[in-house]
Amino acid sequence: MLLEMIEIAWERGRDAFDTAPVSPTQTRVLYAVEREPGINMRSLGRHLAMAAPSVSRLCDRLQAAGFLHRSPRAEDRREIQLRLTEAGAVHLRTLRLRRAEFLRLTMDGMTPADRRALAVGLSAFCAAIGGPPRTVDRPYERRHSA
């Protein structure tokens, strides 16, 4: 039943979670490069668990779209480092804003008790899949707690 509920929620939020004009895999590349500016292709491949040719093709497409910049590392010109372009950074900011707005609107329809229950359940879910949830600022809770 839980999986069905997650699938329904995902389907209803499809527009908010759409990563166009890049694929979800390309979006993972952008997030990885954002987290680690200057990451090299080999490290990116390990992070994504992908072979070098696949990583290279992904980066080719992202560079052609204007979202990624590749350049030789100053210390070793054979090593290519990756950085987001301004367009790539704007794309990720836009995705985050769209997703945050969708979640805010969805949570506005929930009671404070339901929001607390969801937070408890998601914390348990994150712990069960192998790690604690990241600590984040919770302005929504402060705004909507009763």
DSSP letters along 15-55, please?
Answer: HHH--TTS-HHHHHHHHHHHHSTT-BHHHHHHHHT--HHHH
Reported as a single tens digit per residue, the pLDDT across 32-73 is 999 999 999 999 999 999 999 999 999 999 999 999 999 998
The angle formed by the CA atoms of residues 42, 40 and 60, to the nearest 5 degrees, is: 90
- Cα 22 versus chain centre, distance: 13
Q: State pTM to two decimals.
A: 0.73
Reported as a single tens digit per residue, the pLDDT across 66-110 is 999 999 988 888 889 999 999 999 999 999 998 889 889 888 999
Please state which of the ranges 51-55, 91-95, 112-116, 130-134 shows the lowest mean pLDDT.
130-134
